Structure formats: structure tokens, C-alpha cells
Structure 1
Amino acid sequence: MELLSVPAARLPAAGLRRRRAAAGRIRCGIAEPSGVPAPMGQKTKYKDGLFAKIFMGLFARKMEKFASGGPSAKEINGWDYESFVDVSRRVMMGKSRSQQQEAVREVLLSMLPPGAPAQFRKLFPPTKWAAEFNAALTVPFFYWLVGPSEVIEVEVNGEKQRSGVLIKKCRYLENSGCVGMCVNMCKIPTQDFFTNEFGLPLTMNPNFEDMSCEMVYGQVPPSLSEDPVAKQPCYSSLCSVANPNSKVCPKLVT
């Protein structure tokens, strides 16, 4: 994300250095030598800028009120992505699936000024333009949360439009290693929030084989009983809350 719109070639050397230094503090980027997410089975390394860390701390502090147990040393001394995921994990503990999803909904609402959902509905009625506009915003503003993504063409109600977002390897999923956290702390509450609070349908289709995810703005999400994620096996070898004897993620059936 650039801080200024002035072309770099027109900036004096000192100004260019300041611009690049400031941008470096804001940006969140992959620290892998390849510049792309690490292969399946390996955790991608990121270099988070100031912008990313501010959002991590803001979200985590809002979620802390719903979490079990006390804050960790990292949370006390400074938030990072691992401690953000840890708070999410503690929000899950001792709660049913619906309670987890309601907690996320409350957190999302608390991030917005009063009356924001109603204003959003006025500004962004469920049109093709609104769906494409929100897809374009998702790529830069949620990089810190899900990693690199790109806008793609999808078909909604028989019409092709660029309202899809392909997350190449979800940072949240690969750091949690938990199907239940992906579904109950991200997919379902995010779908419900856009569809029911903002009035803009959203469907998220995570691919648990490669940890990618497709977001489709403008598409009404299926009910959980009809959604394939309801029968998704648990990442028993990766998940810290997994039940090794369960063929289906325990956090999807409670």
C-alpha cells in the first residue's frame, strides 16, 4: 500500500527514502525467498509492518473479552500474529459453535461506528458494482489477516463478474491448523456479517487440501447443513484442539 500517489521518479532522493521507509512500516509482506506462500506442510514467513500490527492488536484486544484464560506474555508486551491466533483459539474454548460465531459477530460490530451497517446498506446495495468494489478492497486491506490474494472472475446468478477473491494460502488457517477455527471463527461469521448485517451476500469456499480459499461477493451462502465444510475431517496432525479419534472436526459438530 503506497502512502503517496506522486511517482517515485519525481521525488528528491531524501523524499524517496522517507517514502520507502514509511511504506515499509505500513506494508505486510511475505518474507519467503520465493516471494510466494510456503508449500503445504510448511508455515509461511511474513514480515509485518506497522499497519498490520495495529490491526492485529486492535482485533485481538476486542476478542480478548470473549477469551478463556489470561493474556500471554506476548499479548502483554506487544501483539503479533501468533498471539492473535492464540486469542482466537481461547475464544473457542468451552463454547458451542453458535457461541463462537456470535463472539466474532460482536467483535466485528464493535470495530464499527454506530449505525455503520445501515449506512453500508445505503451506500452499497447488493449490486454487481458493490460486489466487485468490495472484492477489490479485500485484497489490500486483509492481506495482514489472510495473506496474498487476488481478484478473480466468478459466476453469480448466471452472470460473470470480477467479485471473487482467491486467497492463495490462508495465513489464518495455516497458523491455526484448525478446521473449526477456519469455519467458526472466520468463514461462517464473515459470511453472516456481510449477508445479514451489510446486506451484501458473501460465500467463502475454503480448500482444506492446499489451504487456499475463494470468496465470492454477491453469492448467497448455503446453510451449514448443506455446506461441504460441515463434514470436513479435522487436521488431527496439525490442530492443537483436535480429537484424534474424530473423523470430523469436533468443533463443527458441537
Structure 2
Amino acid sequence: MRTALASTHGNVGFGCSAGARKRLNTSMALPAAAGASKPSAQAKKDPFAEKTVYNDNLLDKFFIKLYSKKMADQLSGVGVPDNATYDDFVRISSEIMKGRNSVQQRAVIREVLASLMPREAPPVFRALFPPTQFSAEFNALIASLGFYWLVGESEVREEDVVVGPNGETRRQRSVVHIKKCRYLEASGCVGMCVNMCKVPTQTFFTDEFGLPLTMNPDFEDLSCDMIFGQAPPPLEADPVYTQPCFAVQCNIAASKDGVAAALPPCPKVDTERSKA
């Protein structure tokens, strides 16, 4: 297996900046007048402002083309270039959304995942990896090593994982922290994240393989936690269900004041929501 390589990103420090020191000095020299308003909170950083650059090797390109071909096989009239790139992979996955509701989209991806392995794979997996701590930790390690081409740089973390029906937790190294998801960054779409990746992947591992998996994307910084061994909640109870579109990426999210908190949930997450 290849070791995950990624672009080096600058860390945002929490020390006192030059601007902050200037404001501090000013406040010491000139006491604030009674009733003066406090400075507004610092604007959130746009996670799309700095695009991550990937240099895919031959093995990465092989998997990109393989997955692209498997998705195209579920469609009609969608071709896969000989030298398929990650952008082609994202483009083809977006074609799945056309003319299908959210449930149908997830079903297509589930078929894609099933087509990547022999029919006997799920029962063999269940026999080899029952839902134990070892199975969760082992699969977390495999995921962190094998899916750099798909999601970017990641690391395995030890955290408290919910393993019981009544909220019982256990400390285990079965959390794959994706630092900045390549697919989410490239697609820029909440609906694609949920229906093309999160939900079908959770469902496939939990229902087909018998190993619970919960995926928690963070739409503030495009990171994501894959929690092996933890059962996912119903979609309607998941925070992603009410997640708005990306204000800087999606014309659906256009608003006069640009306040993301005032935006409605992304309509692509559940296309039948408005019909209920």
C-alpha cells in the first residue's frame, strides 16, 4: 500500500496577530467610551479560497478511471476518457444526479460499490470482520492508507466511539480524520457529498459488510471523520439534513446579505423534502 502524500498547508495560528496587538495598544491608550460597540467577530475562512493540488501517480489514475468507468456503466451516453482525471470522476458522478431523486442517486452509488467486488465479498467480509474493536480499527487503518486518491490526506485517531444502542462508548483507534476532503472540495456541493458519498458508503458498510460506519463531514473546513464501529443515525436526525448550500460555490445559496445561517437546507440532500 502506498503512503499518503499530500500538499503542505499552512497552519492558522492562534497567537496575537499584529492587528490584534495594534487594537490592544489603542484600547490601552484611549479608554473606550461607554456603550461603544464591540468589534465584529472575525469572518470565517473560505475553505475553497486555496485549492489543494494533487499529483496523481499511476495507481491513483488507475483507481480514478476504474471508479469513473463503474459509474458510467450505470448511465447511458456518458463516456470515460482514456486518461480520465479526477475532474472527470466528479463530472461523471454529477451526471448520476440528473433526472434522479436523492434516494435513486444513493441506490446507483450502492450498485457502483457492489460492482467493484465479487458477489461473494460481503459474506466473506462479515466472516473475517465481525463488528468488533479489532475490525473497526483494522478497517480504519486500511481506509486511511488506501483512499488518498479519493479523499486526500487523512490520519487515524483514537476517540470515544459510540458502540452500544444506549450510547455506550469505547475508546478505540477507529476514526479516520480526512483533513480536507478532495471530493467535497472538487464538487463544492453539499448534496453530492451526502448522496454520492456519505450515505451510500455508510449504508454499504453497515448493511452489506455488517460493520457500522458513520461519516461526519465538516462543511466549515471540508474535513470529515469516518467513524468505524459507530452506527449512523437516520438521515433526518443527521446534522447534514439541514445543512445549507455553500454560499460561495452554489447559486442556490445566493442571498442579499450572504449570511449562510439564514439559508435553507440544501435542496439536493433530500429532493422529496418539499413534497412531504
**Equivalent residues in 2 for 1:47-126 (5 A)?**
47-67=55-75, 70-71=78-79, 75-126=80-131
Aligned partners of 1:214 and 1:133: how far apart in 2?
A: 16
In the alignment, structure 1 segments of 5+ residues that lack a partner are 3-26
**1:99-178, aligned counterparts within 5 Å?**
99-156=104-161, 157-178=168-189
3-state DSSP of counterpart to 1:163: strand
**Is the counterpart of residue 40 in structure 1 residue 12 in structure 2?**
no
Corresponding residue of 1:179? 190
Paired with 2:81 and 2:209, the residues of 1 have a C-alpha distance of 34
**In structure 2, what is the Cα distance between the partners aligned to 1:70 and 1:227?**
33
CA contact 2:4–2:145 (8 Å) conserved in 1: no
Q: Which amino acid aligns with 2:242?
A: K
Structure 1 counterpart of 2:220: 209
Using a 3 Å threshold, how does the CA distance of structure 1 residues 101 and 123 change in structure 2: closer, same or farther? Answer: same
Q: Offset of 1:172 from its aligned partner?
A: 0.3
- Contact 2:78/2:92 (8 A) holds in 1: no
SS of match in other structure, 1:109: helix
User: C-alpha offsets along residues 56-86 of structure 1, whole Å, 9 cap, x if unaligned?
Assistant: 0000001013346533xxx324101000000
Structure scoring higher RCO (CA < 8 A, sep ≥ 6) equals: 2
SS class of match (1:84) = helix
* Local SS of the residue matching 2:81: helix
- Please state if 1:200 is matched with 2:207: no
Contact 1:28 1:49 in 2 (8 A): no
Counterpart CA distance in 2 for 1:142 and 1:215 is 12
1 CA distance for matches of 2:77 and 2:10?
Answer: 37
Structure 2 CA distance for aligned equivalents of residues 148 and 193 of structure 1: 23
The answer (yes or no) to whether the contact 1:28–1:52 under 8 Å persists in 2 is no
Hey, what's the Cα distance between the residues in 2 that align with 1:34 and 1:243?
Answer: 28
Taking the aligned partners of 2:76 and 2:247, their CA distance within structure 1 comes to 22
Aligned length: 224
User: Per the alignment, in what secondary structure is the counterpart of residue 43 of structure 1?
Assistant: coil
How far the C-alpha of 1:253 sits from its partner, in A, is: 2.6
Q: Whose Rg is larger?
A: 2
With structure 1 as the length reference, what TM-score do the two structures score? 0.82
| Alignment CA distance shift 1:121-1:145 (3 Å) | same
8 Å CA contact 2:4–2:153 kept in 1: the answer is no
Deviations 1:12-50 (A, max 9, x none): xxxxxxxxxxxxxxx7743x46599xx822210000001
Give the structure 2 partner of residue 23 of structure 1.
none
- Give percent identity, aligned residues only: 52
Alpha carbons of structure 1 residues 177 and 68: separation in structure 2 relative to 1, 3 Å: farther
Q: Which amino acid aligns with 2:54?
A: Y
| Residue identity opposite 1:216 in structure 2 | I
- Give 5+ residue unaligned stretches, structure 2: 12-45, 162-167, 256-262, 272-276
Q: Which amino acid aligns with 1:214?
A: D
Report deviation, 1:159: 1.1
- AA partner of residue 227 (structure 2): V
> How far apart are residue 243 of structure 1 and its match?
6.2
Would you say the 8 A contact 1:153–1:162 is kept in 2? yes
Q: Secondary structure at the match of 1:252?
A: coil
- For each residue in 1:167-204, what CA deviation from the matched residue of structure 2 results, as whole angstroms up to 9, or x when unmatched? 00000000000000000000000000000000000000
Q: State the one-letter code of the partner of 2:267.
A: P
